[in-house]
Amino acid sequence: QLQLVESGGGLVQPGGSLRLSCAASGFTLDYYGIGWSRQAPGKEREAVICISSGDGSTYYADSVKGRFTISRDNAKNTVYLQMNSLKPEDTAVYYCAVGGACLGNGPILGNVERWGQGTLVTVSS
C-alpha cells in the first residue's frame, strides 16, 4: 500500500522547536518533489515548503523563511521538516505530499500524487 505517514507533532512553547517526519512506504521518495503545507483552524491550507523534483530546488513561504528547513534521508525514505523559533501562529495541522515540480518557483507543489494524514502542531504557553 502506497502511503505517507507524518509524525512528530505535539505541543511546544513559543520559541521552541519541533521536527516533523514524513515517511513513505510502498514507493521511493527519491524522484519526487516534496511539499509541506499546513492548515490552521478556520483557515485555508497554506503551502510552506517545497522541494522540486528534478533539480531539487527548495522554496519557502515568507512566513517560515529562516525558521523552517526541509531535509531528506533517502536511506530511511523519509523527509523531515525542522521547525525552529516557533510562534503561536504556526499552530496547524501539517501535511506532507509527493508530486512533481514546485509551481512558479514558490512553495506550492505541483502534480500532487499523494498526501499524508497530517500531524498537529500546537504552539502555546
pLDDT more than 70, % of the chain: 100
pLDDT score recorded for residue 84: 98
Q: Give 55's pLDDT tier (boundaries 50, 70, 90).
A: confident
Is residue 63 predicted with pLDDT exceeding 90? yes
How many other C-beta atoms are found inside a 10 Å radius of the C-beta of residue 25? 10
- Average of per-residue pLDDT across 1-30: 94
What is the distance between the alpha carbons of residues 40 and 19, in angstroms, rounded to a whole number? 18
The answer for residues whose C-beta is within 8 angstroms of residue 65's C-beta and 6 or more apart is none
Residue 46's pLDDT is: 96
